[in-house]
Amino acid sequence: MSIGKRIRKRRQILEMTQQELAKAVGVTPQHISAIEQDKRDPSLSSLAKLAEELGVTIDYLVIGKESVITDAIPAIKGDKDLKLKAKKALIGLIQELYEAMRQG
């Protein structure tokens, strides 16, 4: 899957319009459309903003590597300041979001 297709898929999962995403990233809706159609590649700064707005990593957008689960869950489990109830809630939320993103 291409960068553009991953961006479109994630945007649709979040129920965002191209206009909303464009405004958040600071580009035109036409630019987002061109990226999603693989007619243009996002600049590095746009890629970082896109990843942030879409709630994914740059790795996910570029190569499809879904590292949120592997990065976040061990960090949550290892946090000595979080109570067990909070850890379970956060991990459950991350797992639900991950599944929704995969099914999207």
Q: For the chain, give every domain's residue range.
A: 3-63, 68-103
CATH topology of domain 3-63: 434 Repressor (Amino-terminal Domain) (1.10.260)
pLDDT digits (tens, 9 = 90+) for 47-70: 999 988 887 888 889 988 766 555
**Whole-structure pTM value:** 0.65
pLDDT digits (tens, 9 = 90+) for 9-40: 988 988 889 999 999 999 999 999 999 999 99
Angle between helix 84-103 and helix 68-78 axes, rounded to 10 deg? 180
pLDDT of residue 67: 61
